[in-house]
């Protein structure tokens, strides 16, 4: 199995870094459990302790002069059905390349895993669109493929008309797209919700602003998240505007913390760092940046994140911001028998890493 740019990665399964408790998948939005979106649990993890609170308490843990950076990418209904070999298969549309081609993941008829298309194969999509599957994208892996729509079709417009939200087996219902949007979502383009920001309500954001915490946007359109074991993040399109870059540098100059809402924001900001000066610059394009112990974060100094699986490559990014010891202690604390019952996945609970 390969990573971005065809880099080979090991397929050997490592020992899990922690054990996720049984029954800890969030099977639906917190609103279906009688909670507001900002009432999900929040583990605040600092070098000396872990505290268990709610996301609505976030302002207590940030200071005037800090900056909270959010991803304003909006979620698209990125799943469609396709007819293949006389059966109904699934197709997840992950991204649209600069030449108009789509990056897609074929899903098996049982929906339990990725399928394997053939180069040159024609898939029939709803709305009279045919998709010619060309080659793996990026090269060196087999899950995501480049496809050409015939006739040419804009991905966003097509999916808004014909798609449905991507859904995985741990969910207990077909939740509408509105449940898969952050309150500040503004730029359609993500295949799946940048879910770290889902618990942020308008009330939480207003409280942060009133306290003197700056809130600034970036855009990173997430691809499909159904990676195979140890598969690194795929290339994703992002944009860091000049105003956000200047605000981040102003905060850093005056000693404030740069707190990213999610791995997507971390990837975008760190992809905009000038390699020589270490400053965040305005930048738009594709990023293949993979953060980890060998490539630590240079700008992001705090991270609001959802909870990730023990084998997920996202843990490497958390480690790039907070260090392995803090990340390992965070998961040890929230999975301990004496801790509150935390929930995983896009409708689950959160942690705030403040190294």
Q: What pLDDT score does 4 carry?
A: 33
pLDDT tens sequence across 23-62: 999 999 999 999 999 999 999 999 999 999 999 999 999 9
Cα separation of 123 and 117, whole Å? Answer: 9
SS (H, E, C) the chain: CECHHHCECCCCCCCCCCCCCCCCECCCCHHHHCCCHHHCEEEEEECCEEEEEEHHHHHHHCCCCCEEEEECEEECCCEEEEEECCEEEEEEEEEECCCCCEEEEEECCCCCCECCCCCCCEEEEHHHEEEEEEEECCCCCCCCEEEEEECCCCHHHHHHHHCECCCCCCCCCCCCHHHHCCCCCCEEEECCCCHHHCCCCHHHHHHHHHHCCEEEEEEECCCCCCCCCCCCCCCEEEEECHHHHHHHHHHHHCCCCEEEECHHHHHHHHHCECCCCCCECCEEEEECCCCECCECCCCCCEEEEECCCCCCCHHHHHHHHHCHHHHHHHHHHHHCCCCCCCCECCCCCEEEECC
Better pLDDT: 265 or 13: 265
pTM: predicted TM-score of the whole model, two decimal places: 0.92
Q: What pLDDT score does 8 carry?
A: 34
Find the mean pLDDT for residues 133-139: 93
What b/e sequence results for 275-291 when a residue is b if at least 16 CB atoms lie within 10 Å of its CB, and e otherwise? eeeebbeebeeebbbbb
Reply yes or no on whether the pLDDT at 5 is more than 70. Answer: no
Q: What pLDDT score does 242 carry?
A: 98
Cα separation of 312 and 20, whole Å? Answer: 12
Q: Which residues lie closer than 8 Å to 220 by C-beta, 6 or more apart? A: 71, 73, 194, 236, 237, 238, 239, 264, 265, 267, 268, 287
Q: What pLDDT score does 13 carry?
A: 53
Q: What pLDDT score does 314 carry?
A: 85
Q: What pLDDT score does 311 carry?
A: 76
Reply yes or no on whether the pLDDT at 156 is more than 60. Answer: yes
pLDDT tens sequence across 281-294: 999 999 999 999 89
Q: Which residues lie closer than 8 Å to 85 by C-beta, 6 or more apart? A: none
Cα separation of 143 and 128, whole Å? Answer: 25
């Amino acid at each position: 199995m390969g990573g971005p740019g065809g880099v080979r990665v090991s397929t050997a399964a490592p020992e899990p870094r922690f054990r996720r408790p049984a029954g800890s998948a969030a099977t639906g939005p917190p609103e279906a459990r009688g909670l507001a979106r900002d009432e999900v649990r929040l583990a605040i993890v600092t070098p000396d302790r872990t505290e268990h609170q709610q996301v609505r308490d976030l302002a207590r843990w940030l200071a005037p002069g800090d900056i909270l950076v959010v991803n304003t990418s909006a979620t698209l209904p990125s799943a469609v059905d396709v007819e293949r070999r006389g059966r109904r298969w699934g197709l997840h549309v992950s991204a649209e390349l600069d030449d108009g081609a789509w990056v897609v993941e074929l899903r098996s008829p049982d929906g339990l895993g990725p399928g394997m298309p053939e180069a040159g194969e024609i898939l029939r999509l709803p709305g009279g669109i045919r998709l010619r599957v060309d080659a793996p994208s990026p090269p060196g892996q087999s899950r995501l493929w480049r496809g050409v729509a015939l006739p040419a079709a804009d991905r966003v417009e097509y999916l808004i008309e014909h798609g449905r939200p991507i859904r995985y087996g741990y969910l207990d219902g077909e939740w509408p797209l509105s449940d898969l949007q952050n309150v500040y979502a503004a730029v359609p383009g993500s295949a799946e919700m940048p879910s770290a920001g889902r618990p942020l309500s308008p009330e939480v954001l207003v409280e942060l602003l009133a306290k003197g915490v700056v809130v600034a946007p970036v855009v990173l359109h997430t691809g499909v998240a159904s990676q195979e074991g140890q598969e690194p993040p795929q290339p994703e399109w992002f944009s860091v505007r000049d105003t956000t870059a200047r605000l981040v540098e102003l905060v850093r100059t005056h000693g404030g913390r740069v707190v990213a809402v999610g791995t997507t924001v971390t990837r975008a900001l760190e992809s905009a760092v000038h390699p020589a000066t270490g400053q965040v610059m305005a930048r738009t394009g594709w990023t293949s940046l993979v953060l980890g112990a060998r490539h630590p974060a240079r700008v992001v100094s705090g991270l609001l994140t959802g909870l990730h699986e023990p084998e997920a490559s996202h843990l490497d990014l958390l480690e790039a911001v907070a260090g392995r010891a803090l990340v390992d202690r965070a998961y040890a604390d929230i999975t301990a028998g004496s801790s509150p019952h935390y929930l995983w996945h896009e409708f689950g609970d959160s942690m705030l890493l403040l190294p």
